[in-house]
Structure 1
C-alpha cells in the first residue's frame, strides 16, 4: 500500500468531500483552491473571458463563482473593471491572526466544556490521521497535510454550538491556509523546522485533559507561529514586498 493511499484511509470527510452539486460550485471551488495555492497570484486581474475557458464554464457561471469568492474576501471587485485576487500583506496577516486567535481560542474553551465522549473519539481520530501525515516530516504532502490539519482544527471546536463562529472561522482558516502556502513556497525549510506535530500534540493532550487554559494558550502559540515565520522572512528579504508577490496588470 502506498503512503498516499495509507494516509487517505485516515481522512475524514470535510465540507469539500462531496462532489460539487452545480457548475457554479465546481468553478468556485477550483478558483478558491487556485487562489489559496498561489496559482492565481495576489493582485492578479481575473479576466472572465480568459478564465471561463480555463475552468470550462460559461461567463455567467464564472461571474457567480467570483461573487462567492468576493463574499469570502478572496477576490476584490473593481466596479465595471471586473475582479482581482485579493492582495496579501503582513498587516493583513497580523489582523487575520489576531482575529482567529480571539475566536478560535474561545471556541476551543467552549468545546472543551461541552464536549462529550463522542467528541473525544472524533478528536482522537482526527489527531491520529494528522499524526500519520506529519510523521513524513519534510517529505509530507502539503495538500494532504492541509486536509488533515483543517479537520483537526474543526473537530477541536466542534462541540461549540455557535454557527456564526464556525462560519467565520471557516473563512479565516482559508485565508490562513493562503498564508501557510506562502510560507511553504517562500521559506519551506524554516516553516518545517517547526515541530508542528509537537504543537498539535500539546493542544490535543490539553483538550482531552479538559485543561482549557493550557489548550487555549497552546492553540494561540500554534496559530501565531506562521505569522512569526513570515514576518522574519520579510525582514530578511527586503521587507514586506518579499511576501506579496503582487501582480501588476
Structure 2
C-alpha cells in the first residue's frame, strides 16, 4: 500500500523532473521537434518511466511538448506562424497587465521595479557584450518584466502572462545563437521603467514595441531554423 509519505516523495520527484525538462526545453538543450525517447530520458534524468510520463503530461499541458499518440512525445515544434501568434497574444496580455499595474501599483510596486532593473543592469554591465548568453541575466530579465505587471491584481492574468513569456524564451534563445550583436536593451528597459512609474500611457506602446522588435530580430536571425507553418 502506498503511504502518504511515499506519494509525496513521488510527487516531489515528478515536479523536479518537470522543472528540469522544462528548463532544458526553454533553453533549447532539448531542441524543437526532438523525439523524447523514454530510455534516453530515463538515463538523462535518472527517474522511472512513470515519473517521466507524469512530467511529459504536465509539459504537454503547457504546450512545450506534443503527444504523438503511440509514437510517444516530442518537443513542441517552432514556426514563424506560432511566433507571430504568440507575440500578438503576449502584446494583448502584457498591455492589459501593465495598464492595471499602473492603475493599482503603489510605492512598493515602484520600488520593486527599480530594484529588479538595478540588479539586471548591474549584471549586464559586468558581463559585457555576451550578457545575452548568461542564464542568470535571463532570469533577472524575466524578474524585471514581471515586476512591471505584478500589481495588476489578477493571479490568473499573471499566470497566463508567465506561460507566454516562457514560451517566447525558446525563440529568444534560438536567436541568440546566431545574432552578431544586440540592440541596446538596457536603454529600452530604462525607458519602459520610467514611463511605467510615471503612469504614462506611452508605457503600453513601449512594451508592445519592445516585444515586436524582439520578434523581428528572432525572425531575422533564427528564422531559417523553423518553417512557415
TM-score strictly above 0.5: yes
The answer as to 2:54 corresponding to 1:72 is no
State how far apart, in whole Å, the 2-side matches of 1:57 and 1:232 are: 39
4+ residue runs over 6 A deviation? none
State how far apart, in whole Å, the 2-side matches of 1:153 and 1:218 are: 13
Map 1:24-63; keep pairs closer than 5 Å: 24-63=14-53
State how far apart, in whole Å, the 2-side matches of 1:77 and 1:155 are: 34
State the secondary structure of the residue aligned to 2:150. coil
State how far apart, in whole Å, the 2-side matches of 1:223 and 1:137 are: 23
The answer as to 2:187 corresponding to 1:205 is no
The answer as to 2:156 corresponding to 1:164 is yes
Corresponding residue for residue 6 of structure 1: none
Give the TM-score, by structure 2 length: 0.90
Corresponding residue for residue 219 of structure 1: 207
State how far apart, in whole Å, the 2-side matches of 1:156 and 1:126 are: 10
State the secondary structure of the residue aligned to 1:42. coil
1:230/1:243 contact within 8 Å kept: no
Q: Deviations over 1:181-209 (max 9, x none)?
A: 0110122x24x2x0010110011000111
Corresponding residue for residue 176 of structure 1: 168
State how far apart, in whole Å, the 2-side matches of 1:199 and 1:137 are: 17
State how far apart, in whole Å, the 2-side matches of 1:71 and 1:185 are: 28
Quote how far apart the aligned CAs of 1:130 are. Answer: 1.2
State how far apart, in whole Å, the 1-side matches of 2:208 and 2:169 are: 16
Cα gap change, 1:230 to 1:139, in 2 (>3 Å): closer
State the secondary structure of the residue aligned to 2:15. helix
* Count, aligned residues: 215
Q: Deviations over 1:28-50 (max 9, x none)?
A: 11111111111111111101122
Quote how far apart the aligned CAs of 1:86 are. Answer: 0.4
The answer as to 2:70 corresponding to 1:88 is no
Quote how far apart the aligned CAs of 1:56 are. Answer: 0.9
Quote how far apart the aligned CAs of 1:161 are. Answer: 1.2
State the secondary structure of the residue aligned to 1:40. coil
The answer as to 2:130 corresponding to 1:139 is yes
The structure whose residues are more often helix, as a share, is: 2
Give the TM-score, by structure 1 length: 0.83
Identify unmatched segments of 5+ residues in structure 2: 1-10
Q: Deviations over 1:77-110 (max 9, x none)?
A: 0112210000001111111011001110111011
1:206/1:215 contact within 8 Å kept: yes
The answer as to 2:225 corresponding to 1:243 is yes
Quote how far apart the aligned CAs of 1:74 are. Answer: 0.4
1:183/1:226 contact within 8 Å kept: no
Quote how far apart the aligned CAs of 1:124 are. Answer: 1.0
| C-alpha RMSD over aligned residues | 1.5
